[in-house]
Amino acid sequence: DTGVSQDPRHKITKRGQNVTFRCDPISEHNRLYWYRQTLGQGPEFLTYFQNEAQLEKSRLLSDRFSAERPKGSFSTLEIQRTEQGDSAMYLCASSFSGTGVAYEQYFGPGTRLTVT
Amino acid sequence: GEDVEQSLFLSVREGDSSVINCTYTDSSSTYLYWYKQEPGAGLQLLTYIFSNMDMKQDQRLTVLLNKKDKHLSLRIADTQTGDSAIYFCAEERDDKIIFGKGTRLHILP
C-alpha cells in the first residue's frame, strides 16, 4: 500500500476559476477527511465521509466548496469561483472505523492551491 | 485549531531532550495525538495516547497526559537534526481531529 495520495500536488489558478482536487485513500479505509492548512496554522477540518456518505461539513466549507466520494473510494473536492482567501494547502486523510480499531488518521502530501 | 494551545517555537541542542507542551479543552476526547510535519511533506502520525492512560513510551518518544489539567506533553530523547520539524498536538473530537498551531522545533549544533 502506498498510503494516501493526492493530485495535483500544486495548483495555481486565477481568481474566479474552478478547481478540483482528488484524493485516493488507503484502500481498506472507509473514512476519508478533508482539511485545510494555511501558513502558520494547524490543519482545520472541512468535511468527512464514511464510505460514500458525507457525514459532516464544517462551517468553513462555504457553498462554493463541494466534496464527493461517489463509490466510497477516491474523493474529489471542488472549489468554484476561487478567491484569494482560498489559497492554502488542502490535506486529505483516511482512517478505518471499526470496533476495537485504534482511531488513526493518515494524511496525504496535500495539494497546495495558489489563487492569483 | 485555537482550542488546542501550544508554544510556537522551541530550540534545543543536539543530544538534549526536547519537551513540547500542549493544553487542550475537550475533556471527553478519547484520543490525543502528536503529528510531525517536515517542510514540503505531509503530516506524519508520531504517536497517540488513549485518554485513560497517563504515559506512553515509544523508543525516543514519551507522551505524558494529565487529564485533570488537560495537559499533554511530548518528550523526544537525544534530539537529532532529523527531528527538526513542526510538531502538532491534536485531540479527537466527534470523529474529527482538532489541531493546535504547531511548535517549530529548531535543533542547535
Alpha carbon distance A47, B27 (integer Å): 23
Res. A10: pLDDT tops 90: yes
How close, in Å, is residue B79 to chain A by CA atoms? 23
Establish if B49 touches chain A: CB-CB under 8 angstroms.
no
**All 3 cell numbers of residue B68?**
485533570
pLDDT band at A1 (very low <50, low <70, confident <90, very high): low
Predicted confidence at residue B1, as pLDDT, reads 43
pLDDT score for B65: 95
Contacts of A32 in chain B (CB under 8 A): none
CB A93 within 8 A of CB A108: yes
Q: What is the pLDDT of residue B94?
A: 80
In sequence order, what are the residues at sequence separation of 6 or more whose Cβ sits closer than 8 angstroms to the Cβ of residue A20?
A: A76, A77, A78, A79
DSSP, res B68: T
Cβ–Cβ below 8 Å for A91 and B97: no
Local mean pLDDT, 10-residue blocks, chain B (109 residues): 83 97 86 91 89 92 94 96 96 87 95
- Taking only the tens place, the pLDDT of each residue in A27-65 is 989 999 999 999 989 999 999 999 999 999 998 889 999
* B101:A42 CB<8 A: yes
Which residue in the set B45, B98, B101 is minimally distant from A104, CB to CB? B45
A62-104 pLDDT tens trace: 999 999 999 889 999 999 999 999 999 999 999 988 654 447 8
- Using the CB atoms, write b or e for A44-83: b if 16+ within 10 Å: bbbbbbbeeeeeebbeebeeebebebeeeebbebebeebe
Q: Nearest CA to CA, how far is A43 from chain B (Å)? A: 6
A42:B102 CB<8 A: yes
